[in-house]
A and B are shown apart, each in its own frame.
Chain A
Amino acid sequence: MKIAIEELAGCSGCTIAVLDLHEMLLDVVEKAEIVYSPVIMDVKEPPEGIDIAFVTGAVRNEENRERLKMIRKRSKVLVALGTCACYGGVSGLSMLSSNAEIFNKVYRNGATVGEDGKIPSGVPPFTYRAFAVGDLAMMDYYITGCPPKENFLREIIPALIAGDSLDLSRKSVCSECDRKMGSVEGWKLKRRYEGVPDREHCLLGQGYLCLGPVTFGRCGASCPKNNVPCHGCNGPSLDILREPCRDLYNMMVRRISDLTDHKEKEIEEELYDVAHTMYPFTIGSLIMEDKENSKIRDLVKERSL
């Protein structure tokens, strides 16, 4: 059993998440041989005949694209590991500007760079947009999470290696949250920094934009449990993935409307910075962009004027 982990445009957090199996790693390396993982070992290219490869990160430049092609060719089973691979992750936010604007800002218009700064040219060129790996190659499995949580990987990795099937939760973050609904009166949208949320009741009901209802679970609702509204880092919930007319934005608006009896239009007027508050992890995903009522197309257009 040969395993590989490939890294594209990401933060290496998903490889660390695999290392975060801690002592279970010793069992894993007894049952399977890790033949390629650039963060932890020196093998420079993925070998032929990999049984299971995990690909982490999004595709943001030509080299990422080539590496994705190669790992697909050389592995029997290819698993998209983490939210970047599944939905583009934060790399998708770079689509709010044109590539030229990004380079100009980074190398010429920062507080500490000169206006005559060089823009690198002898480096892998950017693709015209960010991609989730599934937009460009056939994936066998998707494991969401930024990064996927330890408890969940402790179940899934041994099962993958053994070829077993698993019965995993398919519910949203709300299903793992211990907060009570409580009464929702005089609801008004708050910025996520405002005031101190009460620990007992639903954050959304208190006026905080908590993405729990539209976000895939398996994280134990760790942010809401620590009094922090969900940011959606696990990607969309299953109902949104399944239904073409459901999207993060319209389902959030609908959910708030159901909760508060406010009209959807009124709620939409209160929303702010939709890109960074609702779509920070999914802008790069063609699946999410292609939904008929997705806001992604507008966001990308608005910002690149």
Chain B
Amino acid sequence: MKEITINPVTRIEGHARVKINLDDSGNVDNAHFEVVELRGFEKFMIGAAVEEAPRITPRICGICPTAHHIAAAKACDEIFGAAPPATGKKLRELLMVGQFIHSHSLHFFMLAAPDFLIGHDAPAAERSVLGLVKKAPDIAKKAIEVRKFGQRMTEAIGGKPIHPSTCIPGGVSYPLAESKRLELLEMSKKSLETAREGWNIARTILDQTDLSFGAVDTAFMGMSDNGRFSAYNGEVNVIGKDGNPVSAFSGADYLNLIEEYSEDWSYLKFSRLKGGDYYRVGPLARLNIVKEMGTPEADAALAEYRSTFGEFTQTTLAYNMARYIEFLSCCEKAVEYLSDPSICGGDVRTPVSGVSKSRGVGIVEAPRGTLIHDYSVDEEGFITDCNLIVATCQNNFGMDRGVEDVARKVVSGGSLSESAANRIEMVIRAYDPCISCATHAIGQMPVDIELVRRKPER
């Protein structure tokens, strides 16, 4: 048995490798997406004062810390029986918008776009944001500016651009200053302009790409606010392989739907629906689920996307375009929220006295998909149990099968060229996996691709 390994898989967040096993004639026997680290949050949060969870769990991921911060804070709201007041809730929603702008622009422009804009067969050293700076400096500069806005907004509301700390049980710790609002509003208008221009790149990004790469048929899961795209409010919907609704849930009811299992060769758990169906989450799932984005330009982009891919699509590489439409929508939302002076209101937190419920489940849509934080506490509010379900675990099956699908197409004569290896990674990258998140459980993921050839038996 011969092995080919791609190690690490790069331009994703965290550490992973791909291992391809070949049969005696040099064809692909099987291939897997393997994650080689784990950090153990579900275990080491036990015993913690639950109000520390929103402070510690953002460290699961440096790209989507806000999502963890807010999911944990939502779980705390429930445990302490303190729903945030109107402005506190709005600020959290705007924080999520900032999270999406930074994470989606990072992924689209800096991690995934080099494959499309520079070419997936370009030399490795050029296929990066640094290559983009040389080849398309205008795009690179605008990408930097727009991501800066996302981070500046997170910093203004969350206290820090990475690992924000202002979401607390019962709301947000401090109001937004009017001077900050005006400063951010200016930035948001520029960002929307950039997002609008970028759509011209995004709408054609897949024109030259073989869309069958990484094909997999799954169910989908994602939150929507009565049919509208939302990262903070609403029920989580599940739709089947055919696009028809299966069920919807909120809070601890996720336990009736989701199960996880593990394999010998990866620290990353796999999620599936009880009953055995696999599902995917993230931009592709959300756009399959929502009726509308709820902002005019993103809705126009959604109509165009649907005229290409249909109301419902399984096409993995469409993740990249779906992600862009969400990014556009978030830029529109930022302008909308910041245009309203009431976002600077003083009603940001509901005072908290003590534990009112022994379990709290916080669910948000992280950039990469549905994120669930589930804490059980004793009467003093110390954590007795903790379960975290992150997007990348839910997409693990899709990535794993996608890897095998592409490997079968690109491995020839028992070897793998560098550009063919990148084709495999492109499918992984479409999901924008976050291995730090995935291994909240401990670890590492640039991708490693390994080709394994069976030794002839004597």
Contacts and interface: CB of A to CB of B under 8 A. Distances in A.
A165 interface: no
B62 A113 contact: no
Interface string B129-141: 1100100000011
B92 to A, nearest CB: 14
Interface string A85-108: 000011101101100011001110
Given A29-B133, A112-B259, A276-B48, A42 B124 contact: yes
Interface string B46-61: 1111011001100111
B46 to A, nearest CB: 8
A10 B63 CA distance: 11
A146 interface: yes
B11 A22 contact: no
B10 A117 contact: no
A305 interface: no
Given A123-B265, A276-B49, A29 B39 contact: no
Contacts, number: 291
B368 interface: no
B442 interface: yes
Contacts of B165: 222-223, 226, 228, 231
A8 interface: yes
B49 A277 contact: yes
A60 B443 contact: yes
B8 interface: yes
Contacts of A12: 13-14, 61-63, 436
Contacts of A227: 166, 173-174
Contacts of A120: 38, 262-267
A205 B141 CA distance: 46
B169 A111 contact: no
Interface in B29-86: 34-49, 51-52, 55-56, 59-63, 65, 76, 80
Interface stretch (B154-162, B194-202, B220-228): B154-162
B428 to A, nearest CB: 12
Contacts of B35: 123
Contacts of A61: 36-37, 442-444
Interface residues of B, number: 100
Nearest to A110: B387
A275 B47 contact: yes
B259 A114 contact: yes
A83 to B, nearest CB: 9
B352 A194 contact: yes
Contacts of B170: 193
26 contacts: A13-B63, A14-B62, A19-B106, A20-B148, A22-B144, A26-B133, A40-B130, A43-B124, A44-B8, A63-B37, A94-B442, A101-B43, A112-B259, A120-B262, A147-B162, A191-B51, A192-B52, A196-B349, A222-B155, A226-B165, A226-B174, A227-B166, A228-B165, A228-B174, A273-B382, A276-B56
Interface of B: 6-8, 10-15, 34-49, 51-52, 55-56, 59-63, 65, 76, 80, 106, 110-111, 124-125, 127-130, 133, 140-141, 144-145, 147-148, 151, 155, 159-163, 165-166, 168-170, 173-174, 254-255, 258-267, 269, 271, 349, 351-353, 374, 381-382, 385, 387, 389, 422, 425, 436, 441-444, 446, 448
